[in-house]
Amino acid sequence: MKVMENDLRGKRVMSDEGMYLGTLRNITVDEGTGRLENLLVEPSEKIDSRLYHQDERGYLLFPFASVKSVRDVIVIGEA
């Protein structure tokens, strides 16, 4: 099954333990290899974003390798 990047933007992102982390805003790509690197997630107001890696805009960074499933929500686990 193929998923288009535009279909992923705006999806809710959850941990594999069921915690709502935020909303997917973008995905970073290595320009040289085309490899997907990180998900950029706008954090939920209910989490302490200081506990996560962030970019300069305050988006949470999750390695693409940590994606466990993509359905109605994106589920993130340990990378």
pLDDT digits (tens, 9 = 90+) for 40-66: 999 999 999 999 999 999 999 999 999
What are the distances in angstroms from CA 75 to CA 17, 34, 52? 9, 22, 16
Q: What does pTM read for this prediction?
A: 0.87
Does the pLDDT at position 79 exceed 70? no
Q: What is the 3-state secondary structure (H, E, C) of the chain?
A: CCCCHHHHCCCEEEECCCCEEEEEEEEEECCCCCCEEEEEEEECCCCCHHHCCECCCCCEEEEHHHEEEECCEEEECCC
pLDDT band at residue 7, thresholds of 50, 70 and 90? confident
Integer Cα distance of 52 and 7 in angstroms = 25
Assess contact for 27 and 36: CB atoms under 8 A: yes
